[in-house]
Structure 1
Amino acid sequence: MKFLVAICVWALALMGSVPTAHAQCGQRLRRNWDSMSQQDKSTYLGAIQAAMNSGAYIKFVELHTEMMSEREAHGQCMFIYWHRLMLIAFENMLRGQGAQFACVTIPYWDWITAQSRFTNGQCRSMADCSPIVNELGGVPAGTQQRQLAINGVPTQGFCVRSNPLNSFCQSGGIARNQCAGCVTRGDWNRAAFPGSTSFASIQNQIFSGRSIGEMSPNLETGAHNNVHANLDGAMATFASPADPIFWSHHAMVDLLHVVFHRCRVGSTRMTFEQKAAHPVAWSSCGRRNGGVFRPTDPVMMRTGVNGRNPIPAANDPIVGRFFQGVPNRYADLMDVRDLGASSYAYELAGVTATMFTQCGGTPAPAPGPAPQPQPQPAPRPNPQPAPRPQPRPQPQPRPQPRPQPRPWWWDLIFRNGRRLADSRGLRRATSFEGQVKSADAEATVKAADASDVTIVGGAGPVPSDGGNSNSPRQDDKVTPAQTPAAPPAPTEEAIVVPCTPDPSMQKMETWYNDMTQQLGGPSQKAMDEVERMACMFQDECLGGVRDYSPEFKAIWGDCPPRCKTIVDAVKAGTQSICIPNWRETMKQQFGCPIPSSNNNTPDQRPATSGNPTQDVGAGAPQQQ
């Protein structure tokens, strides 16, 4: 009896601490990994490890590999919106792993800046150029290769056991003592940054698209696929969410859509009907299994061990709660400010701030009324009704207060209801849920040079810790424990903060701007031409450009790397570069760090070929 009383007292204390932590988080702000403090990085890694130990992490591998879900996730124009919902639910799940993780957000991996370092010869591989690659475990010397089926998907590579990967379990259907405790990776110490992640290429992938129907495939088949291929291992398969770097890679992809939306759609908040009718922000593209996507279609995400007996992720007993309250119709996911309690923003600096504020040198559309709604197919029944139009509406009505989920200790004491205590010791996560008051403000973009400090939309001064810490801030007001506080209603999708410019990125932007001016200023023609130069330089001075492996194409589609297509066209004479001295100019600016004549590497899949027990090698970067 005394033990029971002690448990009750401790549980009540825990109940009081969780809302307080949420009250102190402030607005969700996803930050560049490179700008985070060591404490915040450690907290994020701790959340990943806790999720792996609880059994929640593998569920997100399940929904990415489930056949019907994957058909909506890749190879069509809903790629970004589908993955946005996945990232939101994953972030909610991390926050639900314990009060110490209540303020965690997914950091993004700025591979544009890292690629500029690679181009400048400052570093020679993904691991060498990006701190996040090694700080998420890297590929330590002496790591052995193995084959590993992750939720039934075959993978192979160097099976890395660095923290937090030593807590990874490859299946939700096995006992804890059968878990591999590692994730397969390619030889990241030799993996090159692809040309499709260069500033010149990303500018074209984002700003050449006239609608989401063009921009999304550009980015998916461009930088997105190329990074997956070069990282190899699990990242080269649909089991890629097994690797924590997946989430930061996709956060960067998501960030680039935020840039596109601000620059090509604008900052005006829209109703659901306006979103569904917007010719730039919405495209009713074809589904891979027939038909077209409609704005009212709910996103299909299903979990299931090895893809068998799948159920909607929102109904999953382990992770379903983390989808609650998140809009799940495709057009609902258009604006990161309109996601209820899961709304978020990005902290931008350097090249991402340049793209967000300058829009590729073309003016952002002036805020104004959205186009008149076009006839849409009859909506499918959906549990989330569209909101009534308001003068300045939100796309979703404010969620009604709901009872908090029963805490994990309830069943321990009262022995009723479902218990999440399997052979792996799964416990109920603490609640992440809160309520968000609707924001009644339109965005205002303040033009600024990349080196200037711009607080977008009057969001207020950014604290010295960058505006968001994974650890609760001490100066926030604490609300009573019985009333979970709502995070601030987001008025902006990004906050631009000051930073010390990266020298390599500065050189890259200077070169890009000089070439653009020689071509008559910003235009589609100039973007195409400068990207050709960047790809040709990759082929001649950064180790070469090669095609994907047959194994990668069998999974991700037959589309070759973006730079491979461009280089082949230039060599065949079907595309040309008008500036005659472009080679000399680039070599003068960047040198020629890895002449392709010195690169004898025939394959871009070093980690998954040859002896399955081979150690990590060293040599020329693997390229395509």
Structure 2
Amino acid sequence: MAYTRKDVSTLTAAEKRRFVKALLEIKRRGEYDEFVRMHIEYYVADGEGELRTAHMTPSFLPWHRQFLLDLERALRKVDPSVSVPYWDWTKDRTKSSAPWTRDLLGGDGRRSDRQVTTGPFAYKEGNWTLKEGVTDGEFLTRDLGRARDPMALPTKSELEWALKDPLYDVSPWDSTVTRGFRNKLEGWGTGRGSAAWRNHNRVHRWVGGVMVGGASVNDPVFWLHHAFVDLCWSRWQRRHREHRYLPAKPPGPGSDQRGRIVARHQKLPPWDVTPDELEDHGRIYRYA
């Protein structure tokens, strides 16, 4: 039977407690840090000349769908009632709204070093020491809205700009494409400031701290953000039913993307699953 992912702003006090408790338990067991390590490993930029599965690539969406499912399965082994809520950043747009409350993810980082000092994931609580990352920092950091160089979260119209594109993705299937739903949602743009970071990417930048870069999984908001990104993919699928994941077939000989991206029926490392098999989540979970 499919379970439900809810809007984080609608969670009851009990649902918040259970979600936080399950996260803290898989962190205590060391399982959570495996997710951080995995995301760092698969955060491959398109300029590196390697296979890209997680970012700057068509498989951005199915890769993170499977990643979310793995995290959710770990949480549900602790508490079968738990699912990952989603944060609709086009609606809950302030530093005091959900999910930035003391009973859920805690708030902004303090001015001096951006350390999060409120909520269950604050370093002082002793339950959320960072053990995997691109720096040696041990505490969770945030810079909500970027105080020194303010940035706004994406708007409904900016998200709609991505959702209305009927093409899933286009050649050369990387961070430079200007057409296709995938990169309009993932958000690699050009220029400076907000224009360079759209939708998904701008949210990472707006949160700041450890959410910027490959170790972004260290902030639990990563999962709420990606649950909403996944919901956006579901909405796009319903709107454009005749369109599917692209490319359908691997790039041909002579293409500089050959062997660097995953086509619809190819396995999606590190799992034994294809993008094709991940397009329909209806039997596993639904969105409220």
Equivalent in the alignment of 2:285: 344
Listed one character per residue, the Cα deviations across residues 330-376 of structure 1 (whole Å, up to 9, x for unaligned) are 211111125xxxx11000xxxxxxxxxxxxxxxxxxxxxxxxxxxxx
- In structure 1, the residue matched to 2:245 is 282
Does the 8 Å contact 1:138/1:188 carry over to 2?
no
Q: Following the alignment from structure 1 to structure 2, what is the Cα–Cα distance between the partners of residues 201 and 68?
A: 25
Distance 2:29 2:16 in 1: 20
- Counterpart of 1:332? 277
Q: Please name the residue that 2:68 is paired with.
A: 87
Q: Cα distance 1:169–1:245, how it changes in 2: closer, same or farther (>3 A)?
A: same
1:296, CA displacement in angstroms? 2.6
Q: Which amino acid aligns with 2:119?
A: S
CA distance in 1, matches of 2:63, 2:285: 16
Matching of residue 217 in structure 1 with residue 183 in structure 2: yes
- For residues 44 and 60 of structure 1, what CA distance do their matches in structure 2 show? 17
Q: Which has the larger radius of gyration?
A: 1
Q: Match for 2:91 among 107, 113, 125?
A: 113
Instruction: Output the CA distance in 1 between the equivalents of 2:281 and 2:122.
Output: 30
- Asked if 1:127 is matched to 2:95, the reply is yes
- Structure (1/2) with the larger helix percentage: 1
Equivalent position amino acid for 1:102 in 2: P
2: distance between equivalents of 1:68 and 1:199?
A: 27
Task: Supply the AA of the counterpart residue of 1:295.
Answer: R
Identify the residue that residue 33 of structure 1 maps to in structure 2.
8
| Partners of 2:137 and 2:43 in 1: CA distance | 27
- Tell me how far apart the structure 2 counterparts of residues 53 and 237 of structure 1 sit (CA, whole Å): 24
Superposition CA RMSD, Å: 2.8
CA distance 1:69–1:50, shift in 2 (3 Å) = farther
Contact 2:53/2:269 (8 A) holds in 1: yes
SS at match of 2:56: coil
Q: CA, structure 1 residues 207+179, in 2 after alignment: closer, same or farther (shift >3 Å)?
A: closer
Contact 2:107/2:116 (CA < 8 Å) preserved in 1? no
Q: Say if 2:236 is the partner of 1:260.
A: yes
SS at match of 1:158: coil
Shift in alpha-carbon separation, 1:50–1:33, aligned structure 2, 3 A: same
Tell me what 1:184 maps to: 141
Structure 2 counterpart of 1:60, which letter? F
- Which whole-Å CA distance do the structure 2 matches of 1:40 and 1:87 have between them? 18
Provide the rounded CA distance (Å) in 1 between the counterparts of 2:27 and 2:132.
10
1:300 equivalent in alignment to 2:258:
no
2:152 to 194, 211, 222: 194
The 1-side partners of 2:87 and 2:151 are apart by 13
Q: Could you list the runs of 5+ residues in structure 1 that have no partner in the other structure?
A: 1-25, 116-125, 146-156, 267-279, 302-313, 315-326, 348-624
Q: Percent identity?
A: 24
* Corresponding residue of 2:120: 163
Unaligned runs of 5+ in 2: 46-51, 171-179, 188-197
Mark the CA change 1:56 to 1:186 in structure 2 (over 3 Å): closer, same or farther.
same
Deviation at 1:263, TM superposition (A): 0.9
Give the deviation of 1:193 after TM superposition: 6.1
Distance 1:27 1:72 in 2: 27
Alignment of 1:491-506 (within 5 A): none
SS at match of 1:49: helix
1:31-430 correspondence to structure 2 within 5 Å: 31-67=6-42, 71-96=52-77, 98=78, 101-115=79-93, 126-128=94-96, 130-134=97-101, 135-139=104-108, 144-145=112-113, 157-160=114-117, 162-166=119-123, 167-171=127-131, 180=138, 182-187=139-144, 190=147, 194=152, 197-213=154-170, 214-221=180-187, 222-265=198-241, 280-284=243-247, 290-291=258-259, 292-301=261-270, 328-337=273-282, 343-347=284-288
The answer to whether the 8 Å contact 1:133/1:245 transfers is no
Shift of 1:63: 0.8
Going from structure 1 to structure 2, the CA distance change for 1:57 and 1:69 (only over 3 Å counts) comes to farther
Letter in 2 for 1:55: G
User: Given that residues 132 and 215 in structure 2 are in contact (C-alpha distance below 8 angstroms), is that contact kept between their aligned partners in structure 1?
Assistant: no
Q: TM-score, normalised by structure 2?
A: 0.77
In the superposition, the TM-score normalised over structure 1's length comes to: 0.37
Deviation by residue 1:417-458 (Cα, 9 ceiling, x = unmatched)? xxxxxxxxxxxxxxxxxxxxxxxxxxxxxxxxxxxxxxxxxx
Q: How many residues in Structure 1 have an aligned counterpart in Structure 2?
A: 249
Distance 2:185 2:256 in 1: 18
Rounded Cα–Cα distance in structure 2 between residues aligned with 1:237 and 1:228: 8
